Amino acid sequence: MSRLPAAKRKEQLLDTAAQLFAVHGYSNATTSQIAKAAGVTEPIIYRHFPSKRDLFVALIERTGEQTISLWEHELRTAPDPAARLKRLIRANPMVTNRGRGVYRVIIQAMTEAEDPKIQEALKHHIARLHEFLQREIDLAQEGGQVSKRFSPEISAWALIHIGLGYGVLSALGIQDHAKDASGMHIQDLLGRLMLAERYEDEA
């Protein structure tokens, strides 16, 4: 067993746990399995996380931070609020190489985990994403690039609802679930509904 700095060991345990949770689900994966896969003893896990629940909550929290970082990275060179919003529409963390597995775990947890602490972590995770999206939509509306017909709050919820559905169907391997016979993609539909001709300008 190699010795790693505490921060790196914690990240390794989270990465390993995400892989096992994706295969076995939160309920069925054990800390013993996680320790074995990580090449450590079980007490090492409890040195960093008091329980499997705390490990899972930390995984949810890290996923939220990574998603925000992904979005901020995508937006760093966008010239205006319309371009920022278009990039957000296309940056679904559920279908990225890094995010695909961990979001599968989170979706499973939404349906199988009744633990109040986990439910609270899931609610906080979604709330952070909603707050970020709402702020971006508000900026685009204030800049006159998005219609004020619908509030930033409900528009942000629409992006989250559609993004979740898109991610789930992608994970299920549903062919052509996000486009029609003409090649119109659901992302393009959202962009044109929200940005009209400005979406075309950025295409």
pLDDT for res 199 = 67
Q: Residues 113-126: what's their mean pLDDT?
A: 88
| 153-196 per-position pLDDT tens digit | 999 999 999 998 988 888 888 988 989 999 898 988 888 888 87
| 7-56 per-position pLDDT tens digit | 899 999 999 999 898 888 888 899 999 999 999 999 999 999 999 999 99
- Residue 10 and residue 118: Cα distance in Å, rounded? 19
pLDDT for res 198 = 67
pLDDT for res 120 = 92
pLDDT level of residue 93 (50, 70, 90 thresholds): confident
Give the predicted TM-score (pTM) of the model. Answer: 0.86
Angle 5-26-36 from CA coordinates, rounded to 5°: 45
Mean pLDDT, the chain, rounded, equals 88
Q: Residues 98-109: what's their mean pLDDT?
A: 77
pLDDT for res 113 = 67
Q: What percent of the chain has pLDDT over 70?
A: 95
Residue pair 26/107 in contact by the 8 Å Cβ criterion: no
Six token digits for residue 168 = 């789930």
Question: Structural domains in the chain?
Answer: 1-49 (1.10.10.60), 52-202 (1.10.357.10)
Nearest residue to 140 (alpha-carbon basis) of 195, 75, 203, 82:
82
Q: What percent of the chain has pLDDT over 90?
A: 52
* Whether pLDDT at 1 is above 80: no
Q: Residues 70-86: what's their mean pLDDT?
A: 92
